[in-house]
Amino acid sequence: PKRQIRARLFLPHLVASMEEVEQTYIMIKPDGVQRGLVGEIISRFERKGFKLTGLKLFQCPKELAEEHYKDLQSKPFFPKLIDYITSGPVVCMAWEGVGVVASARKLIGATNPLNAEPGTIRGDLAVQTGRNVVHGSDSPDNGKREIGLWFKEGELCAWAAALEPWLVE
């Protein structure tokens, strides 16, 4: 693909690790936006060393929230979850990196913030499952699915990060 060719031109020594590069969909939920935590949350992924490839503030329509969470359709909390996600703007992000899917889940912490370790986003910044400030894809396949759901093609940006050789050998 185009992205790999471009990366090869600038960073020939990175080709070997390209297969390990994953994409994940991270979303700051309406409570995170309302509470002014956008910068704080983005900076945690930036500082870890992942690459931002998509970013927008977005008011999510009900149909998209239902599609995104379709695996939870039968849960009793599903209607409340849809109300929550559509209650205000969210920040949609695509992040790229080696092992980014599992690593982002670790940075985010357990679903119930009271069980999330200190140092994680939910552990530091939230108290309730129904207000847990951030979403992260749970598998590389879901990462691709969710990025496809929330972003149009022209909204994503492939770029060679100058610092990459200092993050990935």
Among residues 24 and 132, whose Cβ is nearest to ligand ADP?
132
Nearest distance from C-beta of residue 135 to ligand ADP, angstroms: 5
Nearest distance from C-beta of residue 53 to ligand ADP, angstroms: 21
Alpha-helical regions (H) of the chain? 2-10, 30-34, 38-48, 62-68, 78-85, 100-108, 121-125, 140-150
Nearest distance from C-beta of residue 21 to ligand ADP, angstroms: 22
Residue 77 annotated as binding site: yes
Residue 122 annotated as binding site: yes
H and E: helices and strands count for the chain = 8, 4
Q: Which of 51, 135, 137, 143 is catalytic?
A: 135
Q: Catalytic site residue 135?
A: yes
Other beta carbons within 10 angstroms of residue 126's beta carbon come to 25
Please, which residues have CB within 8 angstroms of residue 48's CB and are 6 or more apart in sequence?
103, 107
Nearest distance from C-beta of residue 157 to ligand ADP, angstroms: 26
Residue 105 annotated as binding site: yes
User: Cα separation of 45 and 25, whole Å?
Assistant: 12
Q: Which residues bind ligand ADP (CB under 6 A)?
A: 72, 77, 81, 111, 129-130, 132, 135, 138
Q: Which residue is nearest to ligand ADP (CB)?
A: 111
Among residues 96 and 146, whose Cβ is nearest to ligand ADP?
146
User: Cα separation of 6 and 161, whole Å?
Assistant: 11
Q: At 16, which helix (H) or strand (E)?
A: none
Residue 78 annotated as binding site: no
Q: Which residue numbers are catalytic?
A: 135
Q: Can you say which residues are annotated as belonging to the binding site for ATP?
A: 29, 77, 105, 111, 122, 132
